Structure formats: structure tokens, C-alpha cells
């Protein structure tokens, strides 16, 4: 059961992924396989079972409110394709 | 046709923790760009978030202050969208299991009435960075210092019916978070931001109209104006037979209008799912109860206490309890002077005018609570008149020291020497032949009012320093003797 082309295109747009016309059929088939798996899972009788937020049945550990991270701006900026005046530069975003 | 405005608010409050929600980077305001953005905030591969316990403590304090249920189990989810100030490609937030559940607060309106507003829920989430669109050869500059700063998003039910109610609600939230000390609440620095969901319907109609969402309104005044102008826009559309489109709109304070944010036209689809990097956070009853036992006195409790303990009017008490620092100032001045009513009058009168004029907060007041109390004592023990007290107050505001120092240095001590006052009265009467004649011929009922003229002249002759009760007494005796 393939996902229709339109849905694949919308998902690609939301995920900011470019999917070429040649691969779109393959992607829709693979997504269809995933959905089939989900259908199988949904067929399981789960009434009265609390949903799990996480596969590990553990509780989150919290940290104390302390500043532990030093300023490493120059190292991080050096990894970026472009930077200026301490800022990361990205293609112009207009709102 | 009579229309009703329906308003729900989403308020973002920056929590004043030292470090971020999921990393140990500093949250200090005003640092050089990107000097407080660590590997976790930058979404470097291989990093893992660890939540800040203090942010949970603050959120629980807030929930308790809002009489809300506390989510003893809360879960972080990913809200997926792409924007360069959000390096991970998702915001870590809460949806199905937030830290604070349903609650209720009372808001106080300027006309003296109160009303309950229900809280839908409040959740913890991380803030995004900032995009700067100036002049980088057609590029945008990104500062990620703010990325990961803890926020609580406070979502109300659509319970407000006028822009004034929305402002009163926002002020109440502001007052609660600053009383709790969990945020500085500074709207001008973005520590508190507000989105408003606005719709209109015919009065009596039960079904809600189509709403629009007004984004990022950054002052109390703009909240009121933005909602008003948006409601008017919707009413115009509906009265012309049109339909309101559900959309996000931006308030332009320069033009006082709202406009559609076209870039967000693609329907939002955030594809939320529980964050696999974070486990459910479980808080124990003991933890929550300990926080409850440590809550400071909240605005409503203080309001009631100021009325009963200091016999203040509801109006004065509400003015003085809006800000915790102001309430503290009042209590210090009231206790030290032993005159709560006078202290309240001075603070809501002269002091408020001074702070307003100089654009200062109460914390920056050039006249301390103890100085003000010292001044009030000199009025009540008749060392100076209340008129001279205003002069002394202005001098204290200019840094001339305590009330006693100013009175001494400027020689403002009230003249209570009956001989000296009698002499001034005689001089005034001698120089006011016509007025004295009029007084004598006037009907008895009109005389008390006519006395005002003579009192004023004597006061003037004494440069405002004569004891007013004594002037009155001596004048009355002298004038009566002439009848």
C-alpha cells in the first residue's frame, strides 16, 4: 500500500528534504511499508495499557542549575560555512 | 448588532535560571553573540540534553500559585519545524503531559470588579535564538545565546471578554511570576511575551467565532490596542457579510493594525512526538509539598492583608501590591513611620509621580523607604506642614539627605511660635482693609470660606512655614474681635 505522491511531497516539504521525481515512487512504497508495520501494531489490543513515552522504563535524572559550559564560540564558529561579527550566517530568512 | 469579543492568551515567560533548560550554558542577558551557545544548544551530533532541576522547581511554584494541578509525571516532546534560530530542527516542549495542568486565577479590573480566568495548562519549553536581518551581504546573522533558555508557556482558556480583561490577566501573570521571583517579567527585553487568540461572536451566541492568533505583542499597552483593532477588523468583515479566516497575524504598533503573516500560510504541521533523548520526569508529592511550603506571600494574599492590617482601601492596596518590590517598600515605610495611610498616600502620589517622571523603577527610587518614613514622622509631629513636606521630598529626591538634614539645612522648621504668628496675622489684617470690611459685612455662613484668603496671606508671609492650625486659631480670634 503505497503512500500517494501528494502526501510524499507534502512530507518532503515539511521535512525540508528534496526528493527527485525518479525516486518518489520508491519513497512512497517504502513509506507504505512503514505504515503497514504501524497498522500491525495498531491491531494489537492495548486497552488498559498506559502508553509509554520511552522504551526504557526509567525516570529522567535532573541536573543542578549551574553554569558549566565555557565560551567556545571561536571553535564552533570555525565549523560554520560562514560567519561574521560572532554570528552564524545563513541564507536570508524573511518573515 | 451587539458583538462580544472572546480572548485567550498564550504567555511565554522566561525563567530566571542561571543555566539553560537542557545545558550548562549561561542564560545571562546581553552577552556577546554566541558566547553562551554550547554544543548542546547548537545541536552538535552526539550531544544529549539533561534537564535543569531549577526550571522544574520554578514551573511547580508557578502551578501552585495558579491553583493548578501539578503534572507529577511530565514528558518532553519534539515540535518539528525549520527555522535557522532553531538549530535542532525541533523545539523541545511539552504537549500531552505538561508540568502544570488546569487551574484558575482571579483578575482585578480597574473598575474594582474581579473575575476568574481558567488556566488550560502551562508547559516547559526551550526558547529559540535570534535572527538578525541587517546587512550581512544578503544573509541573516544568527545569535544562539537565547537558544535553550527555559520558558513556561501559559495557556489560558478563552475566558476574557474585553481588551481590558486581557491586560488585567497579563498583569496578574506578571505580578505572580515576579512575586515568585521565577522571572524578571521584563517585557521590553522579551522575558515575557504574549500571543492573543481573538474571535468575535454575536452577544448571546454560544458557538465561538473563527479566531485569529496575534503574535508577539510586547507591552501591556500593545496587548490592549492589538486586540481592540483586531476585533474591530473581524466585526467589520462579519457585518459586511464576509468570513474571518483562521490565521496568524502580526500587530504593527506603528500603524496600529494587524496583518496576515503570509509566510505561515502553509498549515502548521509540527508532527509532535515524545523526545527519545529525554525520559519522563517524575516529581514526588514530597517534592511538590516542600515547594508549596516555601511559597512567598502572593499578590492576592498581600492585597487582603494590606486592607486588614493597614486599613488601606481596596484601591490603594491593589496599587501597592501589583509589584512585590513596591509592596516591600510600602511595608518598610509604613512600619518605620507608624502611619500606613500616609505612607500609602505618599507612595501612590508624590513618589509614583517622581518615578514616572524620571522613568525609574521602585528599586531605583532616589528616596528610600526609610527616608520617606523619616519625612512622614516630621509631618505627624508637626515639625513641618504637609505643604513644606513636598519641598523636603523634592530635596531628598535630589540627594540632599534625610528629611531632618533637609529641614535643618534649608531652615524649613514650622513656625509654632504664637508671638511670631500673631505678628504676621496683624500685618496681614492691617494690609487687607477691603477684605476685612467684606468679611465683617458678610453673612456668617460665608465667613469660614472667606477666611481662606487671610490664611493664604499669612502662610505666604511665613514662606509656608507657619503652623496652619495656629494661623487658623489666631486669625479666627482676631477677626471675631473685629465684628
B433: left (phi over 0), alpha (psi -120 to 50) or beta: alpha
Residue A33 touches partner B, C-beta closer than 8 Å: no
Task: Say how far apart CA B23 and CA B41 lie, in whole Å.
Answer: 7
What is the tens place of the pLDDT at every residue in A17-27? 899 989 999 99
Q: Are residues B108 and B173 in the same domain?
A: yes
Q: Are residues B239 and B375 in the same domain?
A: no
| A-chain residues near B52 (CB < 8 A) | 62-63, 65
SS3 B292: helix
Residue B276 touches partner A, C-beta closer than 8 Å: yes
SS3 B205: coil
Q: Are residues B424 and B347 in the same domain?
A: no
Higher pLDDT, B249 or B413: B249
CA distances, B297 to each of B63, B293, B341 (Å): 15, 11, 21
User: Is residue B161 one of the residues assigned to a domain?
Assistant: yes
User: Is residue B267 one of the residues assigned to a domain?
Assistant: yes
Q: Are residues B435 and B477 in the same domain?
A: yes
Sign of CA dihedral B202, B205, B208, B209: negative
Q: Is the pLDDT of residue B31 over 80?
A: yes
**What is the overall mean pLDDT for chain B?**
92
Q: Which of A60, A64, A89 sits opposite B139 (nearest CB)?
A: A89
The confidence score (pLDDT) of residue B440 equals 84
User: Is residue B146 one of the residues assigned to a domain?
Assistant: yes
What is the tens place of the pLDDT at every residue in B206-248? 999 999 999 878 889 999 999 999 999 999 999 999 999 998 9
ipTM value: 0.85
Banded model confidence at residue B265, pLDDT cuts 50, 70, 90: very low
What is the tens place of the pLDDT at every residue in B427-479? 888 888 888 888 888 888 888 888 888 888 888 888 877 888 888 888 888 88
User: Is residue B292 one of the residues assigned to a domain?
Assistant: no
Interface test with A, best of B34, B40, B44, B51 (most A CBs within 10 A): B34
Residue B140 touches partner A, C-beta closer than 8 Å: yes
Q: Which of A53, A63, A71 sits opposite B50 (nearest CB)?
A: A63
- Cell representation of residue B28: 545571562
Q: Is the pLDDT of residue B174 over 90?
A: yes
Q: Are residues B58 and B38 in the same domain?
A: yes
The confidence score (pLDDT) of residue A65 equals 98
Q: Is the pLDDT of residue B418 over 50?
A: yes
User: Is residue B354 one of the residues assigned to a domain?
Assistant: yes
Q: How many CB atoms lie within 10 A of CB B180?
A: 17
Which range of residues forms the domain containing residue B370?
A: 297-410
Q: Are residues B246 and B315 in the same domain?
A: no
The confidence score (pLDDT) of residue B387 equals 83
Of B189, B195, B184, B123, the residue nearest B152 (C-alpha): B123
Of the residues B254, B287, B320, which one is the last residue of a structural domain?
B287
Please tell me the distance in Å from B289's CA to the nearest CA on chain A: 18
Please tell me the distance in Å from B21's CA to the nearest CA on chain A: 9
The confidence score (pLDDT) of residue A94 equals 67
User: Is residue B203 one of the residues assigned to a domain?
Assistant: yes
User: Is residue B353 one of the residues assigned to a domain?
Assistant: yes
Cβ atoms of B127 and B147 within 8 Å: the answer is yes
Interface test with A, best of B139, B269, B283 (most A CBs within 10 A): B139
What is the tens place of the pLDDT at every residue in B124-148? 999 999 998 877 788 999 999 999 9
User: Is residue B261 one of the residues assigned to a domain?
Assistant: yes
Q: Are residues B359 and B459 in the same domain?
A: no
CB < 8 Å from A in window 349-368 of B: none
Q: Are residues B163 and B37 in the same domain?
A: yes
Domain count, chain B: 3
Of the residues B365, B388, B410, which one is the last residue of a structural domain?
B410
Q: Are residues B328 and B466 in the same domain?
A: no
The confidence score (pLDDT) of residue B233 equals 97
Which residues are CB-contacts of A28 (< 8 A; sequence separation ≥ 6)?
Answer: A2, A3, A4, A5, A7, A8
Vertex B63: Cα angle to B62 and B67 (nearest 5):
115
The confidence score (pLDDT) of residue B216 equals 79
Q: Are residues B229 and B366 in the same domain?
A: no
What's the length of chain A?
A: 95
Of B322, B323, B316, the residue nearest B363 (C-alpha): B323
User: Which pTM does this prediction carry?
Assistant: 0.82
Task: Say how far apart CA B374 and CA B378 lie, in whole Å.
Answer: 7
Q: Are residues B301 and B273 in the same domain?
A: no
Of the residues B269, B287, B305, which one is the last residue of a structural domain?
B287
DSSP type of residue B263: G
| A-chain residues near B84 (CB < 8 A) | 88, 90, 93
Q: Are residues B46 and B118 in the same domain?
A: yes
**What is the overall mean pLDDT for chain A?**
90
Amino acid at each position: 500500500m503505497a503512500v500517494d505522491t501528494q502526501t510524499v511531497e507534502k512530507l518532503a516539504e515539511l521535512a525540508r528534504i528534496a526528493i527527485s521525481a525518479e525516486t518518489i515512487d520508491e519513497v512512497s512504497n517504502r513509506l507504505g511499508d512503514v505504515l503497514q508495520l504501524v497498522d500491525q501494531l495498531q491491531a494489537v489490543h492495548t486497552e488498559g495499557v498506559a502508553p509509554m513515552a520511552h522504551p526504557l522504563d526509567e525516570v529522567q535524572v535532573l541536573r543542578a542549575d549551574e553554569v558549566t559550559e565555557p565560551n567556545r564560540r571561536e571553535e564552533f564558529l570555525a565549523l560554520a560555512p560562514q560567519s561574521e561579527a560572532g554570528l552564524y550566517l545563513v541564507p536570508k530568512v524573511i518573515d | 448588532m451587539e458583538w462580544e469579543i472572546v480572548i485567550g492568551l498564550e504567555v511565554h515567560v522566561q525563567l530566571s535560571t542561571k543555566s539553560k533548560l537542557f545545558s550548562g550554558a549561561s542564560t545571562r542577558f546581553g552577552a556577546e553573540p554566541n558566547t553562551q551557545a554550547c554544543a548542546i544548544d547548537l545541536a552538535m551530533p552526539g550531544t544529549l540534553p539533561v534537564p535543569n532541576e531549577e526550571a522544574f522547581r520554578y514551573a511547580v511554584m508557578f502551578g501552585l500559585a495558579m491553583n493548578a494541578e501539578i503534572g507529577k509525571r511530565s514528558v518532553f516532546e519534539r515540535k518539528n519545524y525549520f527555522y535557522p534560530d532553531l538549530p535542532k530542527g525541533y523545539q523541545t516542549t511539552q504537549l500531552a503531559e505538561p508540568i502544570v495542568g488546569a487551574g484558575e486565577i482571579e483578575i482585578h479590573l480597574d473598575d474594582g470588579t474581579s473575575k476568574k480566568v481558567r488556566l488550560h495548562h502551562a508547559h516547559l519549553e526551550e526558547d529559540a535564538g535570534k535572527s538578525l536581518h541587517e546587512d550581512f551581504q544578503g544573509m541573516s546573522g544568527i545569535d544562539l545565546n537565547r537558544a535553550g533558555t527555559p520558558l513556561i508557556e501559559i495557556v489560558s482558556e478563552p475566558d476574557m471578554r474585553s481588551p481590558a480583561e486581557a491586560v488585567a490577566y497579563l498583569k496578574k501573570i506578571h505580578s505572580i511570576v515576579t512575586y515568585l521571583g521565577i522571572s524578571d517579567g521584563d517585557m521590553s527585553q522579551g522575558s515575557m511575551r504574549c500571543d492573543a487568540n481573538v474571535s468575535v461572536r454575536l452577544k448571546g451566541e454560544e458557538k465561538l467565532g473563527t479566531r485569529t492568533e496575534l503574535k508577539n505583542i510586547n507591552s501591556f499597552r500593545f496587548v490592549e490596542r492589538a486586540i481592540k483593532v483586531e476585533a474591530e477588523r473581524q466585526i467589520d468583515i462579519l457585518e459586511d457579510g464576509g468570513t474571518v479566516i483562521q490565521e496568524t497575524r502580526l500587530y504593527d504598533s506603528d500603524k496600529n493594525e494587524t496583518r496576515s503573516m503570509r509566510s505561515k500560510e502553509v498549515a502548521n504541521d509540527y508532527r509532535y512526538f515524545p523526545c527519545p533523548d529525554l525520559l519522563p520526569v517524575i516529581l514526588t508529592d514530597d517534592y511538590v509539598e516542600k515547594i508549596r511550603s516555601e511559597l512567598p506571600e502572593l499578590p492576592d494574599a498581600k492585597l487582603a492583608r494590606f486592607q486588614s492590617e493597614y486599613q488601606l482601601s481596596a484601591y490603594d492596596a491593589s496599587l501597592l501590591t501589583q509589584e512585590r518590590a513596591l509592596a516591600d517598600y510600602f511595608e518598610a515605610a509604613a512600619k518605620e513611620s507608624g502611619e500606613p495611610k500616609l505612607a500609602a498616600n505618599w507612595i501612590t502620589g508624590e513618589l509614583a509621580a517622581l518615578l514616572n517622571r524620571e522613568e525609574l523603577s521602585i528599586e531605583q527610587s532616589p528616596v528610600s523607604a526609610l527616608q520617606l518614613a523619616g519625612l512622614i514622622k516630621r509631618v505627624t509631629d508637626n515639625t513641618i506642614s504637609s505643604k513644606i513636606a513636598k519641598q523636603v521630598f523634592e530635596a531628598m529626591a535630589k540627594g540632599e539627605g534625610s528629611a531632618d538634614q533637609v529641614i535643618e539645612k534649608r531652615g524649613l522648621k514650622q513656625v509654632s511660635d504664637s508671638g511670631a504668628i500673631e505678628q504676621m496675622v496683624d500685618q496681614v489684617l492691617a494690609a487687607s482693609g477691603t477684605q476685612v470690611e467684606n468679611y465683617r459685612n458678610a453673612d456668617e455662613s460665608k465667613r469660614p470660606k472667606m477666611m481662606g484668603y487671610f490664611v493664604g496671606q499669612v502662610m505666604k508671609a511665613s514662606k509656608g512655614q507657619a503652623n496652619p492650625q495656629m494661623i487658623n486659631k489666631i486669625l479666627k480670634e482676631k477677626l471675631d474681635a473685629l465684628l
